[in-house]
Amino acid sequence: MIVNLLFSLVGALVQLAFVLLFAPLVQGFIKKIKARLQGRRGPVLLQQYYDIGKYLNKTEILSEHSSWITRVTPYLVFGCMAAAAMMLPLVGLSPLRSADDIILLIYIFGLARVFTVLGGLDAGSAFGGMGSSREMMVSMLVEPGLLLVLFASALRAGSTGLSGIVTHLSNGGISTITPSHLMCAFALFVLIIAETGRLPVDNPDTHLELTMIHEGMLLEYSGRLLGLMLWATSIKQLLFISLFVNLFLPWGIATTADISSLLVGGLVYILKIGLVAVGLGVVEMLTPKMRLFRLPQFMLTPFLVAFLGIISDYVVR
């Protein structure tokens, strides 16, 4: 019992370290792909690391109107992301197997979101409020669809535990690919675009009034606090991409803890992440930013597809 607990704790810490180090690279990679597709050279692959490192060492300038919320939020958001990073199955099954519950996962992201939004409101500026208000609108559009997609997988696997779902899917072979699987995969891909604040929902590279959602909330952060928020954002992005690949392309994931399968799992994982990152870059290149009030219709699509995905599992049989 104790040995098991210790073992999973060590596994979780290793996984956490891996995510912390790997996440900025994925961010840089997507940026690079996008730049290349647009015929630019783009920033170097490691730019995100330089940025985070620079911010972590700078002086913080805080607004006189802000309260402890601003000072606590970056650490809390970072903590939530770290907790999520320990829960998810990435290269292998989740190290914290007894708690890898999908609902818990989504609500931990929710906790991080609540604090980010409060942080946007804390300084009392119009820009922060604008970002916060829009973020809540997007979250309201995303959340039902996101939960439905995850519930569809959970229902098929008969468990709301992520490891259980992933094992079920990767053992299923070709029979895993059902209409429901494909529909939910599509829905989740669209939802990831919204959830990670990418085009056409949000533009991560600017903070203009017209586009800003996520960046708007970060305007009053600086120095170490900003560095942490940036880092947390890239971790969130990596976690969502991982969720996608492990739920919908689960093949190759290490289901046992021996060296060889972990190695294969690791390679396959990085390959899959790369593929999705390219996909996100292509989508960013092809689509312009959408008007804010076009989003409800846009986000209705993944929701309905996910809904039909659940139902289709029972109709198509």
Partner 1 sequence: MIPALELVYASFSLYIIAAILALVLIRLPHQVILLGYGLATLASILGLAAAILFLLEPQPQRVVFFTIIDFTAARFEILLDPLAAFFLLIISLGGLLVSVYAIGYSQQYIEQGKNVALLVAGYNLFFPAMLAVVMANNGMMFLIAWELMSLLSYFLVSFEHEEKEVRKAGIIYIVTTHFGTAFITGAFLILFLAAGQSFSFDAFRGGVRTNLAESARNWVFLFALVGFGTKAGLMPMHFWLPRAHPVAPSPISALMSGVMIKTAIYGLVRVSFDFLSGQGIALTNGGLPETLRFIPPVWWGTVLIVIGLVSSVLGILYAMVEIDLKKLLAFSSIENMGIISVGLGAALLFHSLQIPHGEELATLSLFASFFHLLNHTVFKGILFMGAGAVIHATHTRNLELMGGLIKRMKWTALFFLVGSLAISGLPPFNGFVSEWLTYQSLLGLVAYSPEIWQKTLGTLALSGLALTGALAATTFIKIFGTGFLGQPRSVPASESHEVGRSMRFGMGLGAFLAITLGLGANGVLALLKPVLEQWTGVGSTHPLSSNLYWSLQSAIPNNQTSNEGVVPFLLLLSLLLAIVSWLVIRWLLGRSRRTVDETWACGIELKPTMGYNSISFVSPLRRVFQLVLQPFREIKVTYIVEPYFVEKIEYRSGINSLLQSDVVKLIRKGFSVVTTQIKTIQNGSIRLYLSYILITLVILLIFAR
For 315, the token pair is: 């109709």
Cα separation, 212 vs 214, in Å, equals 6
Count Cβ atoms below 10 Å from residue 58 Cβ, excluding itself.
13
Q: Is 148 in the site for partner 1 (CB under 8 A)?
A: yes
Q: How many of the chain's residues bind partner 1 (CB under 8 A)? A: 90
Query: Which of helix, strand or coil describes residue 81?
Result: helix
Closest approach, Cβ 34 to partner 1, in A, equals 27
Among 19, 26, 33, 157, binds partner 1 (CB under 8 A): 157
Q: Euclidean distance between the first and final Cα of the chain, in Å?
A: 42
Among 37, 147, 182, 270, binds partner 1 (CB under 8 A): 147
Residue (86 or 245) nearer to partner 1, CB? 86
Among 38, 44, 57, 271, binds partner 1 (CB under 8 A): 57
Residue (186 or 298) nearer to partner 1, CB? 298
Q: Is 307 in the site for partner 1 (CB under 8 A)?
A: yes
CB 147 within 8 A of CB 106: yes
Q: Is 200 in the site for partner 1 (CB under 8 A)?
A: no
Closest approach, Cβ 191 to partner 1, in A, equals 12
Contact map string, positions 208 to 227, toward partner 1, x by CB under 8 A: -----------xx--xx---
- Give me the phi and psi of 240, to 5 degrees please: -65, -40
Cα separation, 237 vs 252, in Å, equals 22
Q: Is 290 in the site for partner 1 (CB under 8 A)?
A: no
Which residue, chain included where needed, has tokens 């996008």?
Answer: 34
